[in-house]
Amino acid sequence: MNDCLVIYASMSQVKRVQGELEKNGGRVNVTRTPHCISTGGCSTAIRCKQGQLSKVVAASATLDIPVEAAYAELPGFDGPDYQPLDWNAL
């Protein structure tokens, strides 16, 4: 299963979502958004397995924190490729 990146506007938003997930036993990683998919300026992302994406989006909604974008991270020839995901459909 591929990893996903869920993009947020700030580190404080990411930390709040991460805390909400950890309260319920979820584990995710925090990372800087790769430049090639950054929605502008400095953004931060939660890296999770694709099967966890709906839980991350639900935690964001619970906290009223907007998701900027979500991407599947796929193996590529010169590093990872990123495919946009329709996280609104979850």
Residue 80 is part of which domain span? 3-89
Q: From residue 89, how far is each of 32, 57, 70, 77 by CA, in Å?
A: 25, 10, 12, 30
| Each residue's pLDDT tens digit, 1-53 | 689 999 999 999 999 999 999 998 888 999 998 888 876 666 899 999 989 99
CATH number for the domain harbouring residue 53: 3.30.70
66 neighbors 60 (Cβ within 8 angstroms):
yes
Q: How many Å apart are CA 71 and CA 26, to the nearest integer?
A: 19
Give the burial class of 53: count Cβ atoms within 10 A of its Cβ; 0-12 exposed, 13-18 middle, 19 or more buried. buried
Residue 76 pLDDT level (bands cut at 50, 70, 90):
confident
